[in-house]
Amino acid sequence: MKVIINKKIIEVEAHKTILEVARENGLFIPSLCDHSRLEPFGGCRLCIVEIKGRKGYFPSCSTYVEDGLEVRTETPKIKMLRREILELILSEHPHSCLICTEKEHCDEYKSTIRKVGEVTGCVLCSNNSRCELQDVVEALKIKRISFPALYRNFEIRKDDPFFDRNYNLCILCGRCVRICQEVRGASTISFAFRGSRAVVGTVLDRTLLESGCQFCGACVDVCPTGTLAERAVKPESLPDESLRTICPLCSLGCELKVELNEGRILRSVPSEQGAANRGQACVKGRFTLRDVVYSQQRIKRPLIRKKGELEEVDWEEALSYAAEELKKYKGTEIAVISSLQGTNEEIYLFHKFAHEALKTKNLDNSAHFSPLISYCDWIQEKGFSSEVNFKVEDISEAKTIFLIGSDLTVSNPIIGLEVIKAVRNGGNLVIINPQEIRLGRYASFWVKIKPGTDFFLLLSLAKTLIEEGELGDLSRIEGFESLNKSLDKIDVSRVFEITGVSENDLKDISKLLLEEKPPVFIFGLGLTQHPWGEENIAALWNLALLCEAQLIPLGLENNIRGELEIRRHFGTSGLSFNQIIQAARDNSLKALYLAGPFPYLVKEKPEFLVIQDSYSCENMNHADVVLPGATFAESEGTVTNLEGRIQKLNKIIEPQGEAKPDWWIIAHIAQKMGYKSFNYRKPSQILNEVKKAIPAFTDVSYPLLEKGEEIFCNEETEKKSKLIPVEYKLSSSSRKKDFPLLLLVNYNLDYYKSLNLSKEIKGLRKIRDSRWIKINPQDAAELKIEDGEEVEVESSSQRVRGIARIEDTIPHGIIDGSFLWSENPEFSIARFLSEFNPESFSLKMIPVRIRKGYKRKDNK
């Protein structure tokens, strides 16, 4: 269709607003409330235009084009109205600097402090020079304001983590309210009051924290004024540089824009171009990265233990010493723990280092806790193959989403946004989780399952699906007969008794799985890291085959997918992670090279211990050599995200102190040990080797990635699958008399290398403290445990401290704690690892008891 804007005929697509079309054609129309990610609002009225044949003025942001529409954007009348409207906006916004005739010379005279509590003009506002209001005033050439100022005199809200809210600067464009609702699905903030008292706020004016805010910062990023101001950058100068890189703090790999001033990181904001995150981030990517990089815990120089004490040495000495010592150990005597938070190149190099230099197969890491790895291991074991690549759009375009065993809002918040998008597009969400999760409000069904009964539920669901008879000819699927026979023993009428889910709900859910478009199953460690993990996977696998669903296993660390491809190449025949822990504990290992998370070595110490990390940690007490690694911001390479998307990690700043990238350290030790094949000068050389060795990475290249090309891991296209019979045994309750509660452990991703984020960053600690032991109010009352007090959780062999957090989202009889590698030993639920079967990586259903206070062991 065609429209005429200012006498110019323009060919346009329908479903676009006049404002969009005008902008695409280089026409400037001022606007303040419009935002590309949000639904039209039409509140600021600055973008008004005239339309031929229609009475009045229309906001171009919320008026859609129609064929033959004749629009004028710059008539004298419109210009006058816009100026008057802008003056009205300014009459309640501190505007003295905006119309000051001396503003050009102001920099020479003004004091530099922007820490002042009250913002009385632009020079005192942290948003100065990035303010959209300033831009519009400039564009409309406002020189004076004909109305008296009517300031609102609100108190500035400073009681929340990360940012202040100064509603005296607010122009009520509603972007924050809308992004919180439309994109983030949180609706933490809303408009309150009417008329001139209208203001953005929370329910009953509580703090954001009390209102359930997750501090994703989306509101701060869309605010056109200085109303929402990130506290950390308030006193800072403006950025002089902005570079893109990938967030290292979860498996989705959000692209971030890192702003710098004179080579120092100011802040990180989500990048609009990010393929996976599209302008969104979570609290970690948005507010914590600067503190992560500049943490006081950083190790800045290599250290060697001399006369019992760690001493700073230069790299040459540290590398030579490490190389010499490492040469002494071979094969089964040594083990390497690698990090999943590095680049593909680094992960590859760790494997190569273990195999070629140390000649050992004992390399492992925390990968086993990721559902992705559990799932792929299971597939491999069964001799099947299946694609694991996906795109986040697969989720947002799904008609039915089946979310089992994960609280996405915490574990993978940006994937959670895709789920919300799907629901907004008319999709249905089914949540299976014993705990109430935030996405629950978007669910068609929140199946509050009894803990540990997922297996029976999935089997019953499969049986219901088959019995409903709408799956077509099932004999086409290999293995159907034997599955069907094995399901004979499942008595669906007991589903309510066993799982707590009614038969009717089961039927309704099974109907949702039969929508025209195949459903998407997203599963987390609630399903896999479970005593029945393998059975659960098998049941889900069958169900997915029956309804042709797409299976998306979640991952934890940011390069878990890269590790998957690389470990497939090198093989995993050595000691597994748990076995290495065990071996370290019983001293059957002589040397240990720790470059990734590992439980604390309490008494046992191997003969030789190397620690390669960016942050000092407890295990350094036993280390012989400490090699300071660079962080994500200080190194270059590629990372593979959960989708299988390969992204470019860019070097943003020079390493702190003398820290070096992990690939550099490994390469140099190996060279010192005499291995010429480790002669790399830059990571691209490693990548070239990876490309040749591992087909998954064949297509990757730095220049293509930098150009913005989408590159995914290559996957085997051959699909091998069949339905497999399952056997259900009624499990006797795992609760024990002395240990009446069940501990469900969450794998906590709030860590980067050995840095505990919630310990390092006060704001994050307020949102979620890794020490929290969550307990149901009823259980807490019975045990007389109060919110915030110290408690002790005890199993048959271990105990750990924690801080009670009473939450009604936790079911009766359950306590929930987080598992964090870098937590203090006495608070670390990693202690319970010894209870695990060395072959399994279950995190759920540990029988425990809890009591007030904490008694030190040595007080006994």
Partner 1 sequence: MKKGLTLEKFEEARAEILRDREIQKTGITICLGTGCHAYKCLEVSQAFKDETERQNLLDVVEVRTTGCHGFCERGPIVVIQPKGIFYQRVQPNDVKEIISKTIKNNEIVDRLLYVDPKTEEKIVYEKEVPFYKKQERIIFGNNGFLDPTDIIDYIALGGYEALSKVLFEMTAEEVISEVKESGLRGRGGAGFITGSKWEICRDVSSDTKYIICNADEGDPGAYMDRSLLEGNPHSVIEGMIIGAYAIGALDGYIYVRKEYPLAVKNVMIALDQARKLGLLGESILGSEFHFDIHVVQGAGAFVSGEETSLMASIEGRRAFPRQRPPFPAQKGLWGKPTNINNVETWANIPYIIKNGAEWYSSIGTRKSKGTKIFSLVGKINNTGLVEVPMGITLREIIYDIGGGIKNNKKYKAVQTGGPSGGCIPAEMLDLPIDFETLTKAGSIMGSGGMIVMDEDTCMVDVARYFLDFTQDESCGKCVPCRMGNLQMVEILTRITEGKGEEGDIERLEDLAKTVKEGSLCGLGQTAPNPVLTSIRYFRDEYEAHIKRKSCPALVCKNLIAYYIEPEKCVGCLLCLKNCPSEAISGERKEVHVIEQDLCIKCGACFDVCPPKVLAVSKLTGKKKEKILKRRK
- Please select the residue that binds partner 1; options are 4, 70, 88, 140, rule is CB under 8 A: 88
For the chain, how big is the Rg over CA atoms in Å?
Answer: 29
Q: Does 444 interact with partner 1 (rule: CB under 8 A)?
A: no
Mark 100-139 with x for binding to partner 1 (rule: CB under 8 A) and - for no binding: ----------------------------------------
- Please select the residue that binds partner 1; options are 35, 45, 361, 805, rule is CB under 8 A: 45
Q: Does 19 interact with partner 1 (rule: CB under 8 A)?
A: no
In 3D, which of 476, 496, 407, 415 has the Cα closest to residue 723?
A: 476
**How many of the other CB atoms lie within 10 Å of CB of 393?**
13
Tell me the helices (H) and strands (E) count for the chain, helix number first: 28, 35
The region of 57-65, 323-331, 684-692, 712-720 touching partner 1 under the rule CB under 8 A is 57-65
Compute the distance between CA of residue 337 and CA of residue 593 in angstroms, rounded to an integer: 6
Q: How far is the CB of 62 from partner 1 (least distance, A)?
A: 4
Compute CA distances 745 → 166, 360, 382, whole Å.
39, 32, 28
337 Cβ contact partners less than 8 Å away, ≥ 6 residues apart? 363, 364, 365, 577, 580, 592, 593, 594, 595, 596, 597, 598
Overall residue count recorded for the chain in this entry: 860
- Cβ proximity to partner 1, 194 vs 719, nearer residue: 194
Specify the DSSP element, H or E, that contains 846: strand 846-852
Coil, helix or strand at residue 651: coil
Q: How far is the CB of 159 from partner 1 (least distance, A)?
A: 24
Q: Does 44 interact with partner 1 (rule: CB under 8 A)?
A: yes
- Cβ proximity to partner 1, 33 vs 379, nearer residue: 33
Q: How far is the CB of 89 from partner 1 (least distance, A)?
A: 5
Site of tokens 């940690």: 617
Q: How far is CA 217 from the centre of its chain?
A: 13
Helix-strand-coil split of the chain, %, nearest 5: 35, 20, 45
Residues in contact with partner 1, total (CB under 8 A)? 37
- Cβ proximity to partner 1, 39 vs 787, nearer residue: 39
- Cβ proximity to partner 1, 48 vs 223, nearer residue: 48
- Please select the residue that binds partner 1; options are 30, 43, 248, 555, rule is CB under 8 A: 43
821-824, long-range: CB within 8 Å, 24+ apart, which pairs?
A: 821/366, 821/597, 821/598, 821/599, 821/751, 821/754, 822/597, 822/615, 822/617, 822/751, 822/753, 822/754, 822/755, 822/756, 823/756, 823/759, 823/770, 823/771, 824/618
- Please select the residue that binds partner 1; options are 31, 63, 271, 464, rule is CB under 8 A: 63
Q: How far is the CB of 3 from partner 1 (least distance, A)?
A: 15
- Cβ proximity to partner 1, 172 vs 457, nearer residue: 172
Specify the DSSP element, H or E, that contains 608: strand 608-613
Mark 159-188 with x for binding to partner 1 (rule: CB under 8 A) and - for no binding: ------------xx-x--------------
- Please select the residue that binds partner 1; options are 10, 31, 58, 846, rule is CB under 8 A: 58
Q: Does 92 interact with partner 1 (rule: CB under 8 A)?
A: yes
Q: How far is CA 35 from the centre of its chain?
A: 24
735 Cβ contact partners less than 8 Å away, ≥ 6 residues apart? 741, 742, 813, 847
- Please select the residue that binds partner 1; options are 85, 490, 653, 704, rule is CB under 8 A: 85
Q: Does 81 interact with partner 1 (rule: CB under 8 A)?
A: yes
- Cβ proximity to partner 1, 422 vs 696, nearer residue: 422
Q: How far is the CB of 120 from partner 1 (least distance, A)?
A: 20
The region of 60-68, 376-384, 510-518, 625-633 touching partner 1 under the rule CB under 8 A is 60-68
For partner 1, the binding residues in 187-246 under the rule CB under 8 A are 190-191, 193-198
Q: How far is the CB of 381 from partner 1 (least distance, A)?
A: 49
Compute the distance between CA of residue 207 and CA of residue 277 in angstroms, rounded to an integer: 27
Coil, helix or strand at residue 535: helix
- Cβ proximity to partner 1, 136 vs 745, nearer residue: 136
- Cβ proximity to partner 1, 57 vs 445, nearer residue: 57
- Cβ proximity to partner 1, 78 vs 156, nearer residue: 78
- Please select the residue that binds partner 1; options are 26, 56, 308, 383, rule is CB under 8 A: 56
Compute the distance between CA of residue 187 and CA of residue 201 in angstroms, rounded to an integer: 11
Q: How far is the CB of 513 from partner 1 (least distance, A)?
A: 24
Q: Does 59 interact with partner 1 (rule: CB under 8 A)?
A: yes
For partner 1, the binding residues in 133-152 under the rule CB under 8 A are 146-148, 150
Site of tokens 């009614």: 502
Compute the distance between CA of residue 128 and CA of residue 132 in angstroms, rounded to an integer: 9
Q: How far is the CB of 766 from partner 1 (least distance, A)?
A: 28
> Is 419:411 a contact under the CB 8 Å cutoff?
no
Residues that bind partner 1 (CB under 8 A): 40-46, 48, 56-59, 62-64, 81, 84-85, 88-89, 91-92, 146-148, 150, 171-172, 174, 190-191, 193-198
